[in-house]
Structure 1
Amino acid sequence: MATAMAEAWMKTFPMEAKNKRSTGKSSRILDVPAFNNAWNIYRDTSMDIMKRFEYMSKCLDFNDKDTAAIKQSVEEFVAPNLEKILDHIYWEKLVNDPWLSRWFMDETGNISDEYVKVRRARQKIFILKIVECKWDEEFWNYVRWVGAVHVPIFGNEDLYIPMRLNLALWGYIHQYLFNLLAEAYKSEPEKLQKFTTAWTKLFWLIIDVYHIDYFAPWM
């Protein structure tokens, strides 16, 4: 049964939910087996979010040991330091970054403290969902929805947050979290490696699902 996000995707791009065939013109890219297989994987996993998760998990070798490592790191470190992490990201990094700070400016070009608070609160909700470590359909549809509302496909017609800014934000969160973990576990290198490996895989999974609805070059 298709999820709400998958149904929305199929309504937006109805021709992309069907099997594609070569037109017989000079560029018959779909006749190339490797490309045709890649296209079928993209189409199928855009309509079934759990297929996407399973496929990407295999690609990244994201497994139960990684989930256990994330749970352990959350209990020992991330949860006790969550407010500190959020305060740093929003009140020290984002409002001072020459590119990312544009998200938080009002019509006068100044940082809107109230909007920063709103975005920080929403990011907290997102992170709290992540640290529950429930990799089910509800979670991945939520990740996909958060990404989709940043582009006109499912958000406001005049809203488009460039992918480079999303990647910059996630990249910085990744870097900052790892710096904190490196300091906290510098005397426990095996545990540090276990934690950072698991979080790296998870970040890539989130980034992939987050951006599913960013790609529509055929339109």
Structure 2
Amino acid sequence: MTATRRAALFDLDGVLLDSAAAVRATLAGVATCATGRRVMPGDLPPGALRRPRCEVLAFLDVADPDDACDRWWDGAMSANSVQPFPGVLSGLLALRAQGTATGAVTVQDPDRLRWLLPPALSELLDVIVTRQDAPPKPAPDGLHLALSRLNVGPEHAVFIGDSPTDMTAARAARVLALGAVWGWHPPAALRAAGASHLLPAPTSIGPSLLRHLPPIDNA
């Protein structure tokens, strides 16, 4: 593949979207519906956002977490507002202004994204790859698909994520792995999973993300 531009790919939750409070509230809401007792976000186990949701619901005495999620997850999630982190929209605008393609690779369901993803953010993403488009991370397939749709080679792309699986996927795709320390996982976990660099804040999103990439020769 001949690269004609660069690409910045992102995870959504915890990187572009400030969804931590909404996910905690949703876990509590699903548990409340399933158990018939009031469950509050403060009742969640430590590190709930870093654990599979069914594991968290089992901790809260939900007998069939998979069924509970099928029944109540989207309804509980839709009651919570989710917005981009401060600085994300301006950073994406700056990337696009200098010709960089932008995209997201997420484990979210595409039907959910239709109402979860703020339009102002969706409009700034050239491609969105979901769990229905490709095997989820840590498999590299989603990143490969996004880059194929953008016509960008992996050597000219970065992937910004907040989890060890994000870093593993980026390295497997031969894309520069950048860790977002404002997300759901600690910096040490991102480093251990292979992050090449750690980004301190959402305001780090912008053209400076690309400074570690080789130049493009379009001659």
TM bin (shorter chain): under 0.3
Structure showing the higher strand proportion among its residues: 2
The structure carrying a bigger helix percent of its residues is: 1
Q: Please give the TM-score of this superposition, normalised by the length of structure 1.
A: 0.23
TM-score normalised by length of structure 2: 0.23
